[in-house]
Amino acid sequence: MSLAPDPASPPGTSRSTSATIQPNILRHLLAVADARGIDLRPLLKQVGLDETVMRSAALRVSYRQGSAVIRRALELTQDEHLGLKVGAAQHLTAWGLLGFALMADDTLRHAIETGVKYQNLSGAMVVWSAGTSEEDDAFVLRADLPDPAIDPAVAVFLIEEGLASVVTLSRLSVGPAFAPKAVEFACPPPHRSDLHGALFDCPVRFGAPANRMIVDPAWARAPMPGRDPVTYASTLEMLDAQMAARRGLQDLLEVLEISVAQSLPVIPSFAEQARRHATSERTLRRRLADCGTTYEALVEGVRRERVEQLLLRPELTLRDIARRAGFSDERALRRAVHRWHGISPVHLREQMRSDRL
């Protein structure tokens, strides 16, 4: 069975600080929370995503931003299966041009494979792969986490949201009778599994080797009602252009982040970065804006990542960490960590150590 992700977008190549994810999940999370009388807008504003910004079609968020909002939403709702509700609330139109391409595709299987190929344009926060099972010729869609060290509650949300959205969108495409042959989760069994059975309408297994949805060959071959080869082909041309442009922006972010990381504790000035890229400051600032970020935010993300890495090294004092991450003194480090996590560096270090046990 071939389940390799699309080679154009291998997992782990995009740093968690880069704003490269379409915020489709956050938009639906906001709507689901609103229906429960919970306002997530103040939380979104804390991570730089006010309501006006959220309406922008060009908006991109970082994995760190998305995870922070999801984590807090789970705390506010006290719903450990919030991901199922968010996934079930979606529609193909939320995926924009990609959703249009899927509706014009030939069969359900091919539509899912198209979604996997262009997953970086869908706002996915998991890594999708697809292939045929060697056991029974069934079609298998697999969801992996881009970072296995992610907060466990956020991990469950992302996997549940991803698989629930695929099933929901499949029913909207080929009919409400669609049901997978089986759905498997790598996480332990939850307190309540009836929600999963009701949504997926198939056997649901927990503690499995991987997170995946298994589709019977007959359903995989089901024709898409809106299939149109001409429309599909022309839409793919536009998606390919978007992918090419997106890769260029991602390359810029990664090069800048690596440059900052390699220069710490010294932080290159914005003017110096522009010179290194043989461009003007104005052009570089515009390109970063196209990525939905700023140089200041990028530097902040790299320093935060560096601090979190250094806190895991018990031999380093807070003074050592402050110096290596480019802070003027321990007080500046404490202020930054409190801004990021709401706790002191000492408490964060203890928390990170306990999480790794």
Residue 75 φ/ψ, nearest 5 degrees: -65, -40
Given a contact cutoff of 8 angstroms between Cβ atoms, the answer to whether 230 and 211 are in contact is no
Q: Which DSSP string corresponds to 248-282?
A: HHHHHHHHHHHHHHHHTTS---HHHHHHHTTS-HH
Which residues, 6+ apart, have CB-to-CB distance to 173 below 8 Å? 92, 102, 103, 108, 111, 224, 225
d(CA 99, CA 111): 9
Terminal alpha carbon distance of the chain: 34
Neighbour-count burial of 58, counting CB atoms closer than 10 A to its CB (0-12 exposed, 13-18 middle, 19+ buried): exposed
Peptide bond just before 265 cis, omega within 30 deg: yes
b/e sequence 222-245, b meaning 16+ C-beta within 10 Å: bebeeeeeeebeebbeebeebbee
CA 147 → CA 6, 58, 63, 78, 335, distances in Å?
A: 17, 25, 10, 24, 27
Query: What does the block give as tokens for 352?
Result: 């990170």
Q: Please give the model's pTM, rounded to 2 decimal places.
A: 0.71
Mind listing the pLDDT tens digit of every residue in the chain (357 residues)? 334 333 333 333 344 555 556 788 888 999 999 999 999 888 887 776 766 667 766 666 777 678 878 988 998 999 999 999 999 998 888 788 899 999 999 999 999 999 999 987 887 888 899 999 877 789 999 999 876 657 788 899 999 999 999 999 999 999 999 999 999 999 999 987 789 999 999 999 999 999 999 999 999 999 999 999 999 999 999 999 988 877 676 678 878 888 888 889 999 999 999 998 889 999 999 988 877 788 998 898 888 888 988 898 889 999 999 999 999 999 999 999 999 888 999 999 998 877 655
Given a contact cutoff of 8 angstroms between Cβ atoms, the answer to whether 126 and 146 are in contact is yes
Q: Which DSSP string corresponds to 117-139?
A: HTGGGTT-SSEEEEEE-TTT--E
Helix (H) or strand (E) holding 142: strand 139-144
